[in-house]
Amino acid sequence: MSDAIVVSTAEEMLPAATAELRAALPGVRVEPLAPGTGLLTGDLDLATVARICRETPVVFVRHLMREIARLPLAELQARPDRLGEAAVAVLRAEPHHEIALQLWQAGNPDLPHRPDELWHMVADRLTEAGQIVRRAGQEWTLSVCLTPVAALLGLNRSSEALADWPGGRVKLARGREQISRAEFKLEELSKVAPVALPASGVALDLGASPGGWTRVLRQAGLEIWAIDPADLDSRLGDDPRVHHVRATAGRFLAETDQTFDVVVNDMRMTAEQSATVMLSAARHLAPGGLAIMTLKLAPHDPLRTVRNALETLARAYDVTFARQLHHNRHEVTVVGRKR
């Protein structure tokens, strides 16, 4: 079966994602639809594309949706109620009693209603037609992507979307105890690709300041060596299981003879330097030990930057996940296990 697939990326990363998709899936076409949104066509089905995105990995694709129907923007502007009718028609053709409804805007379509108003209009119409409608967490998701040319409607298994959030835009609330916004990156990762942290043990946090990741790992029950020349937040100061070392990662790794169960690295440095530091860190990591890091992207050729850094990491790690998450700005999150 051949599907048209709507692909979501960070706004400026559609060209990089297109290059990745063409390399991973020879013969496919990707046509830009809106900033950060493209339409993938070729002889493929969504399950295959989702699997290849995970396994390759295709790092700049955040979300996938199988397109089933389209409503031109002019029609939606004149008759917004048509969107609900189109959604009912999609589910009449492929019935699922309980679905998640997700709606998002790509680019700046000129619409008479806000996306949340349209969500309610569609949800009300579906409910009227006997559907049970949720926001997420269902086996099937009905998606509506509003672009400047049309509303695209999709229906697919949530597990094949890569992320169970509208367009992959994971929205998280800032808790009072949060130390830094960097914590969102670990929280988002735990939602889109659950990573099994050990329940106890010792973690090394490279580039730890001000201490958001250290806080999250402490909460998970780990003891932390937090390495950064800069300060840690005062809330971590009294914790006897947080050891702050004011040094660069390179110096610390050259001098320590400790071994760790987990290493995380959110250092602000080039992706290649950071991957090289991770090779030194691997010498202090137990076999099978977990590594989580961010690769900072240079504006020039982000895809090459990521590929080179992943190649370096592959010398010591099996990479199990690499993706530009919603909370990654100019960076990519990578997860691996020491071989």
Catalytic residues: 296
Considering the complex, state which of residue 213 and residue 317 has its C-beta at the smaller distance from ligand SAM: 213
HSE of 72, CA atoms in CB hemisphere, 13 A: 3
Beta-sheet strand order (sheet of 223-227): 242-245, 223-227, 202-206, 260-265, 285-296, 331-338, 317-323
Question: Is residue 248 near ligand SAM by the rule CB under 6 A?
Answer: yes
Beta-sheet strand order (sheet of 37-41): 29-34, 37-41, 4-8, 63-72, 150-157, 140-146, 98-105, 132-134
Quote the least distance from Cβ 139 to ligand SAM, whole Å: 34
Question: Is residue 209 near ligand SAM by the rule CB under 6 A?
Answer: yes
Name the token pair of 144: 């509506």
Using CB under 6 A, count the residues that bind ligand SAM.
22
CB 316 within 8 Å of CB 282: yes
Among 67, 164, 228, 261, binds ligand SAM (CB under 6 A): 228
Question: Is residue 267 near ligand SAM by the rule CB under 6 A?
Answer: yes
Beta bridge partners of 101: 142
Rg of the chain in Å (alpha carbons): 22
Please choose, out of 34-42, 45-53, 166-174, 209-217, the segment that lies near ligand SAM by the rule CB under 6 A.
209-217
Question: Is residue 269 near ligand SAM by the rule CB under 6 A?
Answer: yes
Print the binding letters for residues 183-202 with ligand SAM: x by CB under 6 A, - otherwise. x-------------------
CB 172 within 8 Å of CB 131: no
Question: Is residue 203 near ligand SAM by the rule CB under 6 A?
Answer: no
Question: Is residue 249 near ligand SAM by the rule CB under 6 A?
Answer: yes
Question: Is residue 23 near ligand SAM by the rule CB under 6 A?
Answer: no
Question: Is residue 230 near ligand SAM by the rule CB under 6 A?
Answer: yes
Please choose, out of 49-57, 68-76, 226-234, 281-289, the segment that lies near ligand SAM by the rule CB under 6 A.
226-234
Quote the least distance from Cβ 60 to ligand SAM, whole Å: 21
Closest by CA position to 291, among listed 260, 251, 325, 268:
260
Q: Distance between alpha carbon 294 and the CA centroid of its chain, in Å?
A: 12
